[in-house]
Amino acid sequence: MYDLLIKNAKIIDGTGSPAVDGTVASLNGKLHILPVGDTSDAKEVIDGAGLIVSPGFVDVHSHGDVPLGKEFSSVSKVSQGITTQIAGQCGFSMFPVNPKTMHLMQEGMAIFTDDFPKEMETFTSFENYLKYANKIKLPENVKFLTGHVSLRIAAMGFDNRAATPAELEHMKSMLRESLENGSMGLCTGLIYIPSAFSDVEEIAELCKVVAEYDGVYTTHMRNESNEIAKSVAESIDVGRRSGCKVHISHLKICGKPHWGGAKDILKMIEDAQKEGVKVSVDQYPYTASMTHLSASVPPKYFTNGISGMVEFLKNPELREVIKKEIMDPNEPFENQYVNCDGFDNIFISKCAATPQYEGMTIGDSARKFDKDGFDVFFEILIENKGIATAIYFCMCDEDVFEIISFKDTMPGTDGIVKSEFDRAHPRAYGTMPRAIDYFTKRNKVLPLEKMIYKMTALPAEKFQLKGKGIIADGMDADLVVFNPETVCDTADFLDSNKKSDGIEYVIVAGEVIYKDKQLTGATPGKVILHNK
């Protein structure tokens, strides 16, 4: 007798092959593919008539490690069909912690949570972090990266300079420890402090360690607008120098003057692949991004952390200098204000101390309260002590379509969820169903089987998730059962935490973890260790 049987469904197996009729069974967490009409018994039977069963979706770009184990975080993943997440991205991981500089680490990670684990001071190594993570009961699986922001803060705080040889060796030692214990690689957030203060030599040296463990280097690049070609070239150069696999996070073309540039960027990546550099990318299916509102301020004002930046803003004369720098498209930083063509396309999602500005663009707020847009911008940052999040409308559909069509692009949520009610970006709840609806159903960019491949087998291959991503005998029984007619995202920029429609069942290790738009309480998820 099987533990679970799914009958009468169409099977999309994750390989890109056409859907077929069949019966999918699970025993002891492993898959068995049975012929149509098989009459085998099972403890639980799902009638999949009119539904599709596919491998569980893989979120290759997750920030779910910060709220790990919180129910709302698992709901945000599982409700859209995600069964495995690759967590610790954009330079931020929960380890390694230097207790003396932990406050700087928490300032930078405040976008992800309002509270940190009381044990965080003990996360001085990945081994110690695992002692915490392995105690958490999870519906979904998780695999971890090591953050460069975290490494640099632990080694040298927020210093705006090159690492000394001793500091670099310390970072390499901490990175090696994490890889020895099952981290799958290094991630950078090169627009974030202090990652932004590093150079390509530092990153390449760290990635040489990653290459020794057949790991992956993922990067939020230095620039995704006027200097995107330079940033992609740097990413490729890191792979070339180190021999490490490179994965470019949330690839996008920001800023109207640069729209239409996706083809040239993808050609750069293809040329690097032909040269032998292994490069892949992820993308969320939206034309708006999200990050700290403070990311709109030039990085040079963050040498004393976010709180130090706020102190600069309290000086009226310096505010005028910063205003001019932000308005100047030639200033050498990733300029969100310029990318969005001004404040009318910068939407405030969360600013707890000034709630009157939430749910509106800064431009709309300025008109409503009869203020200058920069005065609103500075007020939000000062009153909220630099902790505020914004949505940046800066992309176009054509580039988004071009990027997803690239053979080595896969969807990733880049999802940030601070609570069940906190407004964020709808990608946190909607990415995977939206990818099906937006790319396949509405715009016919990719057939469904190809889209599912990009959400399952491709990420399982790139991120070395053994046993996952394909429906075949002996593979892990991580599955999604969805309605192809109704599947779509429902979250939007005002109500970002709405669950998607059409996701009928989500299964991990043969156990149903989600049905009727609710978690079932089952927690078969595991921490997946690299090369273990």
In this prediction, residue 248 carries a pLDDT of 98
Three-state SS for 236? Answer: helix
Question: Are 250 and 225 within one domain?
Answer: yes
527 found inside a domain? no
Secondary structure letter of residue 56 according to DSSP: P
* Mean pLDDT confidence for 467-495: 97
In this prediction, residue 379 carries a pLDDT of 98
CATH number at residue 400: 3.20.20.140
Q: Quote the CA–CA distance of 176 and 157 in Å, as a whole number.
A: 20
Domain carrying residue 13: 1-55+470-487+501-522
Asked if the model's pLDDT at residue 39 lies above 90, the reply is no
In this prediction, residue 18 carries a pLDDT of 97
Radius of gyration of the chain (CA): 22
Asked if the model's pLDDT at residue 418 lies above 90, the reply is no
Which of these, 418, 429, 366, 430, lies nearest to 389 by C-alpha position?
418
Question: Are 224 and 136 within one domain?
Answer: yes
Q: What are phi and psi of 189, to 5 degrees?
A: -125, 85
Per DSSP bridges, beta strands 2-11 and 389-393 are unpaired
What pTM value is reported for the model? Answer: 0.94
Per-residue pLDDT band for 97 (boundaries 50, 70, 90) equals very high
Per DSSP bridges, beta strands 82-87 and 141-144 are parallel
Question: Are 32 and 66 within one domain?
Answer: no
Residue identified by tokens 């202090």 is 194
Asked if the model's pLDDT at residue 291 lies above 90, the reply is no
Would you give the distance in Å from CA 115 to the centre of its chain?
20
* Mean pLDDT confidence for 177-181: 98
CATH number at residue 518: 2.30.40.10
Per DSSP bridges, beta strands 82-87 and 57-62 are parallel
In this prediction, residue 511 carries a pLDDT of 98
Report the chain's terminal Cα–Cα distance, integer Å. 31
Q: CA 269, 345, 379 angle in degrees (round to 5)?
A: 120
DSSP string, 150-213: HHHHHHHTT--SPPPHHHHHHHHHHHHHHHHTT--EEEEETTSTTGGG--HHHHHHHHHHHHHT
Task: Return the bridge partners of 85, or none.
Answer: 59, 142
Asked if the model's pLDDT at residue 356 lies above 90, the reply is yes
Mean confidence (pLDDT) of the chain: 96
Question: What confidence tens digit (pLDDT) does each residue in 303-340 have?
Answer: 788 889 999 999 999 999 999 999 998 888 888 999 99
Q: Quote the CA–CA distance of 151 and 175 in Å, as a whole number.
A: 8
Question: Are 111 and 98 within one domain?
Answer: yes
In this prediction, residue 422 carries a pLDDT of 85
In this prediction, residue 304 carries a pLDDT of 83
Secondary structure letter of residue 468 according to DSSP: -
Per-residue pLDDT band for 37 (boundaries 50, 70, 90) equals confident
354 found inside a domain? yes
Assess contact for 47 and 34: CB atoms under 8 A.
no
Question: Are 30 and 113 within one domain?
Answer: no
402 found inside a domain? yes
Question: What confidence tens digit (pLDDT) does each residue in 232-263 have?
Answer: 999 999 999 999 999 999 999 999 999 999 99
Question: What does the block give as tokens for 141?
Answer: 């699986």
Per DSSP bridges, beta strands 288-292 and 389-393 are antiparallel
